[in-house]
């Protein structure tokens, strides 16, 4: 392969972000026509940053880029587009109030003039060629995530991108949708296009790529032909040392287990009147991790927020079982309560929300001030007490090895993993009986992820009822005792984490399968 002219040749690429570590350091990378390259690396290893420099979003501090053998300076997305480079970002770049067609032609300057009808016709042709299903006149805000992603891909094909970069494209897809996407990508490769897929999932690398290049902590560590490597070898390269790929799932003594949260016929509508949860019922037990699987936007957020007292509910009940053994059974109703009332009832309910800096923490405040976010009301004084929170902050920094200059650093300046440690540390410090967590390891590197799994398992061992909303099916299957699968706001089934498999859960996520508990 070395004698072929690469479509992209990057040499000595370096990029630094203010206040953070170097994102890319002296990276060399070649990408060839007619191949699918997997760019593998942990979260925070600089994969996205590197590709953003190819697509003109970021400008490198140093280094050169050659496209088809010609030296190019790419200082804006426009220049990248003109060079035939198209990138599908993890956070889709689509204007919500526009239709699919308007988004697809956005920024193009077709010589035929501005004609949305004609464009829609051509969009339909592209869709027919590759087997997509896109309605050009549908507004983006009415679309599901996988539809939005389809629009993104069609947009790039419509523009005739020769070099296509996809950033973690499968994060929001079901296994079946992933298979369909991969088929399209293979199709494109066979058409002679260049495809780069950014991922940290090993089985995807093995499944789709021809070649794999690995980044670690912003540096290029090597590349391999996919057929000649193994998952273990790639992991070692990615992490830099031997790691076991197994997540523990300790068994908890059965006499600890009792019912803790009983959700019955829960129905929730959002502000726009759309049903987000539809007649959801399940029970969470002490000493277990109950996983929640489903494509994103299936009602996970509403479910956790309803239990935490943050989401108005249309009907149904959420019972907190204080003591199942007393007669009559002692039960508290959580519906209609807000977080303060729930705490006043003596229910210690911890919640690690999906949006860490936008919900769980205050980005501009330091660690100390964040520690008191849920407890600042304590005491009769009109003034806040900062001694206890400071002490707690120091404790969390020590125990969870948070990498921060001091406890008076604004949390916004910490890296993703450290932010999550601060949040989880605070929530666990409250000694909860119920722990809700959403996407607890999203964006975290392997070591931080394993630390979080470990913390969750320890809570489970202490008899806490843990509810874990996840997106990575492999993790859910390894970590959780039981997995509840949501599809379009409905429970399509609850399966045993020890006996089920990925295909079964995947099918349930799209409602094709399903079976009762």
157, two tokens: 């094909």
Give the residue from 507, 508, 456, 459 showing the smallest Cα distance to 478: 456
SS3 of 183, please?
A: helix
One character per residue 137-176, x = contact with another protein (rule: CB under 8 A): ----x-----------------------------------
403, two tokens: 């990498």
Q: H helices within 405-445, ranges in order?
A: 416-429
Task: Check if the beta carbon of residue 106 is closer than 8 Å to that of residue 151.
Answer: no
492, two tokens: 């399509």
**Could you say whether residue 288 binds another protein (CB under 8 A)?**
no
**Could you say whether residue 434 binds another protein (CB under 8 A)?**
no
- The minimum distance between CB 98 and another protein, in angstroms, equals 7
The conformation of residue 465, written as its DSSP 8-state character, comes to E
- The minimum distance between CB 77 and another protein, in angstroms, equals 5
Q: Interface residues for another protein in 49-78 (CB under 8 A)?
A: 55, 57-59, 69-73, 75-78
- The minimum distance between CB 69 and another protein, in angstroms, equals 6
**Cβ proximity to another protein, 333 vs 344, nearer residue:** 344
Query: Beta 211-216 vs 194-199: how paired, if at all?
Result: unpaired
**Cβ proximity to another protein, 280 vs 411, nearer residue:** 411
The continuous run of DSSP H or E covering 476 comes out as helix 473-479
11, two tokens: 């040499």
**Could you say whether residue 95 binds another protein (CB under 8 A)?**
yes
Stretch that binds another protein, among 17-25, 37-45, 222-230, 486-494 (CB under 8 A): 17-25
CB burial class (10 A; 0-12, 13-18, 19+) of residue 2? exposed
How many residues form the binding site for another protein (CB under 8 A)?
Answer: 63
For Cα atoms 498, 503, 509, give the angle at the middle one, nearest 5 degrees. 95
**Could you say whether residue 338 binds another protein (CB under 8 A)?**
yes
Give the residue from 255, 257, 305 showing the smallest Cα distance to 277: 305
- The minimum distance between CB 70 and another protein, in angstroms, equals 5
Q: Interface residues for another protein in 347-406 (CB under 8 A)?
A: 351, 353, 355, 358-365, 369, 372-374, 376-377, 382-384
- Among 90, 96, 232, 503, indicate the residue that binds another protein (CB under 8 A): 96
Query: How far, in Å, are 15, 214, 233, 439 from residue 240 at the CA level?
Result: 21, 11, 10, 25
**Cβ proximity to another protein, 13 vs 508, nearer residue:** 13
**Could you say whether residue 218 binds another protein (CB under 8 A)?**
no
Q: Which residues pair with 25 in a beta bridge?
A: none
Residues binding another protein (CB under 8 A): 17-19, 55, 57-59, 69-73, 75-78, 80-82, 87, 89, 93-98, 102-103, 105-109, 114, 141, 271, 308, 310, 338-340, 343, 351, 353, 355, 358-365, 369, 372-374, 376-377, 382-384
């Amino acid at each position: 392969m070395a004698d072929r002219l690469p479509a992209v040749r990057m040499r000595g690429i370096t990029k630094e972000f203010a206040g953070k570590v170097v994102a890319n350091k002296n990276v060399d990378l070649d990408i060839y026509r007619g191949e699918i390259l997997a760019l593998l690396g942990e979260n925070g290893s600089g994969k996205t940053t590197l590709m953003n420099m190819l697509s003109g979003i970021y400008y490198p501090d140093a280094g050169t880029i050659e496209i088809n053998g010609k030296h190019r300076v790419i200082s804006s997305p426009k220049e990248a587009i003109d060079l035939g480079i198209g990138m599908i970002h993890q956070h889709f770049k689509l204007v919500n109030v526009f239709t699919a067609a308007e988004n697809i032609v956005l920024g193009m300057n077709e010589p035929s003039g501005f004609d949305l009808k004609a464009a829609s016709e051509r969009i339909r042709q592209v869709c027919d060629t590759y087997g997509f299903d896109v309605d050009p006149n549908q507004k983006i805000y009415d679309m599901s995530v996988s539809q939005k992603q389809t629009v993104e891909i069609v947009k790039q094909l419509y523009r005739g991108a020769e070099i296509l970069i996809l950033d973690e494209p499968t994060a929001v897809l079901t296994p079946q949708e992933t298979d369909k996407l991969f088929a399209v990508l293979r199709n494109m490769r066979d058409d002679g296009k260049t495809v780069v897929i950014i991922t940290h999932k090993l089985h995807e690398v093995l499944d789709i790529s021809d070649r794999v290049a690995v980044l670690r902590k912003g540096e290029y560590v090597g590349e391999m032909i996919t057929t000649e490597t193994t998952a273990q070898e790639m992991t070692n390269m990615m992490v830099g040392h031997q790691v076991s790929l197994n997540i523990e799932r300790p068994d908890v003594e059965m006499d600890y287990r009792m019912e803790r949260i009983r959700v019955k016929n829960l129905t929730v509508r959002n502000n726009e009147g759309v049903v987000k949860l539809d007649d959801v019922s399940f029970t969470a037990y002490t000493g277990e991790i109950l996983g929640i699987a489903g494509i994103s936007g299936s009602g996970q957020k509403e479910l956790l927020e309803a239990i935490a007292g943050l989401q108005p509910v249309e009907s149904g009940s959420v019972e907190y079982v204080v003591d199942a053994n007393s007669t009559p059974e002692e039960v508290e109703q959580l519906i209609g309560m807000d977080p303060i009332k729930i705490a006043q009832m003596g229910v210690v309910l911890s919640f690690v929300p999906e949006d860490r800096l936008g919900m769980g923490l205050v980005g501009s405040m330091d660690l100390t001030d964040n520690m008191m976010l849920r407890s600042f009301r304590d005491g009769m004084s009109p003034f806040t007490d900062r001694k206890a929170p400071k002490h707690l902050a120091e404790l969390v920094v020590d125990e969870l090895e948070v990498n921060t200059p001091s406890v008076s650093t604004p949390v916004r300046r910490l890296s993703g993993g450290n932010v999550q440690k601060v949040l989880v540390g605070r929530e666990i410090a409250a000694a909860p009986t119920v722990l809700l967590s959403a996407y607890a390891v999203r964006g975290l590197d392997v070591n931080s992820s394993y630390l979080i799994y470990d913390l969750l398992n320890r809570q489970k061992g202490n008899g806490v009822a843990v509810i874990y909303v996840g997106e990575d099916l492999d993790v859910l299957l390894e970590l959780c005792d039981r997995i509840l699968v949501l599809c379009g706001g409905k429970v399509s089934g609850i399966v045993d984490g020890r006996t089920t498999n990925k295909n079964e859960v995947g099918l349930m996520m799209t409602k094709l399968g399903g079976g009762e508990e």
